[in-house]
């Protein structure tokens, strides 16, 4: 296992949730104890950047010039945060959150901060906002959209999420953007100026495709894989944020940047690399935590023409069905876990019939 990270695999969702909020100890973060890798006969090479893949010779090349041979190769390079292309974005108090090191840096900066600016009202951005509020830091969120998370969850849930955060003291500057950071002053397009000793940028991620492109793998807004997670080049598989696969439920090819999908794809890829022929047919799932409110989402709906709401969003007891042409593509819920699981099971059965 070759990784450019300095830390062994970690519970990445926790980096924007409990650990960042200060309510989870550091020993919660590693996925496995250090002893696990030796006991499982896994050679883990950290701080190792792979710079090329020689598909004919069946080896990968590291930045130090080492060549590591493979019979079968799994690419799980994930995604990297989008950087702000504005003056001042490279200052030391401006952070992104992806790695354990990133999170530690934000935690360290938060200890001396009284006010923070979060740029982006995405899942990561708002989870960071909630975590910093738990540390009693004043938080301002700047984002270009009219409602937070409307693109994924719709307008009603977007309004709820905004009200939830405002109820915990977050100040929103929506339909606005940061155009420059001058020292600790963030200059907004509207002309407003915000001062803060900590800035966290959460404006999305991009799949890390450079290795795949260099190796000549087929690219389709991600690495194109088949139902078995095989790429277009023999003996190379892909999983996680980088993989675009044929989704039997939606009927299209999709790429999902969420933890549970990456876990499940890793398991399926491993089975297939061991000689089984198992299709990846799991329905995508993710959850997002905002203070004491969990939002669970199952399925995949990039577009919909109807949102059917059962229950009451404002009272935190609801299930939303995102439909297109009468067919439910995804379900989001608050404190409706059993119904959410039933929806997932139904989608799996429907996918099996469609397949």
DSSP output for 111-122: TT-SEEEEE--S
Is residue 305 assigned to a domain? yes
Is residue 237 assigned to a domain? no
**Measured distance CA(304)–CA(322) in Å, rounded:** 6
This prediction's pTM: 0.93
Looking at residue 92, which CATH number applies to its domain?
3.50.50.60
Q: State the residue range of the domain holding 169.
A: 83-203
Q: 61-119, pLDDT tens digit by residue?
A: 999 999 999 999 999 999 999 999 999 999 999 999 999 999 999 999 999 899 999 99
Of 203, 229, 261, the position where a domain reaches its end is 203
Asked whether residue 87 falls in the same domain as residue 191, the answer is yes
Is residue 264 assigned to a domain? no
Side by side, the strands of the sheet bearing 50-54 are 50-54, 59-62, 67-69
Is residue 266 assigned to a domain? no
Of 203, 227, 249, the position where a domain reaches its end is 203
Based on its alpha-carbon atoms, the radius of gyration of the chain, rounded to whole angstroms, reads 21
Is residue 61 assigned to a domain? no
Report residue 268: phi and psi, to 5°: -65, -45
- Rounded average pLDDT over 199-206: 96
Strands 317-324 and 306-312: antiparallel
Side by side, the strands of the sheet bearing 306-312 are 285-290, 293-299, 327-334, 317-324, 306-312
Of 203, 224, 249, the position where a domain reaches its end is 203
Q: Is 240 within 8 Å of 222 (Cβ atoms)? A: no
Looking at residue 346, which CATH number applies to its domain?
3.30.390.30
Is residue 68 assigned to a domain? no
Is residue 64 assigned to a domain? no
Domain count, the chain: 2
Q: 285-336, pLDDT tens digit by residue?
A: 999 999 999 999 999 999 999 999 999 999 999 999 999 999 999 999 999 9
Q: 100-113, pLDDT tens digit by residue?
A: 999 999 999 999 89
User: Where does the pLDDT of residue 353 fall: very low under 50, low under 70, confident under 90, or very high at 90 and above?
Assistant: low
Asked whether residue 197 falls in the same domain as residue 289, the answer is no
**Measured distance CA(239)–CA(223) in Å, rounded:** 9
Is residue 144 assigned to a domain? yes
Asked whether residue 198 falls in the same domain as residue 292, the answer is no
């Amino acid at each position: 296992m070759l990784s450019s990270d300095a830390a062994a695999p970690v519970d990445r969702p926790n980096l924007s949730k409990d650990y960042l909020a200060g309510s989870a100890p550091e020993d919660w973060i590693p996925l496995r104890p250090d002893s696990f890798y030796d006991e499982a006969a896994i050679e883990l090479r950290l701080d190792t950047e792979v710079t090329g893949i020689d598909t004919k010779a069946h080896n990968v090349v590291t930045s130090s010039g080492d060549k590591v041979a493979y019979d079968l190769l799994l690419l799980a390079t994930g995604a990297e945060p989008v950087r702000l292309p504005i003056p001042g974005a490279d200052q030391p108090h401006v952070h992104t959150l992806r790695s354990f090191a990133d999170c530690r840096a934000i935690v360290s900066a938060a200890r001396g901060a009284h006010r923070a600016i979060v740029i982006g009202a995405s899942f990561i951005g708002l989870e960071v906002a909630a975590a910093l509020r738990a540390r009693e830091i004043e938080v301002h969120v700047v984002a270009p959209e009219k409602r937070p998370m409307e693109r994924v969850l719709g307008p009603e849930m977007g309004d709820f999420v905004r009200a939830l955060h405002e109820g915990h003291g977050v100040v929103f500057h929506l339909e606005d953007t940061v155009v420059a950071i001058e020292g600790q002053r963030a200059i907004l397009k509207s002309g407003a100026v915000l001062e803060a000793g900590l800035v966290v940028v959460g404006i999305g991620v991009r799949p890390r495709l450079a290795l795949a492109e260099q190796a000549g793998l087929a690219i389709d807004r991600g690495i194109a894989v088949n139902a078995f997670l095989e790429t277009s080049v023999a003996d190379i598989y892909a999983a996680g944020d980088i993989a675009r696969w044929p989704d039997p439920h939606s009927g299209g090819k999709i790429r999902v940047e969420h933890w549970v999908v990456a876990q499940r794809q890793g398991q399926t890829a491993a089975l297939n690399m061991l000689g089984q022929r198992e299709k990846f047919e799991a329905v995508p799932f993710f959850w997002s935590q905002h203070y004491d409110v969990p939002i669970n989402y199952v399925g995949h709906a990039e577009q919909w023409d109807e949102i059917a709401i059962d229950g009451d969003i404002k009272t935190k007891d609801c299930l939303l069905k995102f439909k297109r042409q009468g067919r439910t593509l995804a379900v989001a819920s608050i404190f409706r876990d059993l119904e959410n699981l039933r929806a997932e099971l139904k989608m799996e059965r429907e996918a099996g019939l469609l397949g």
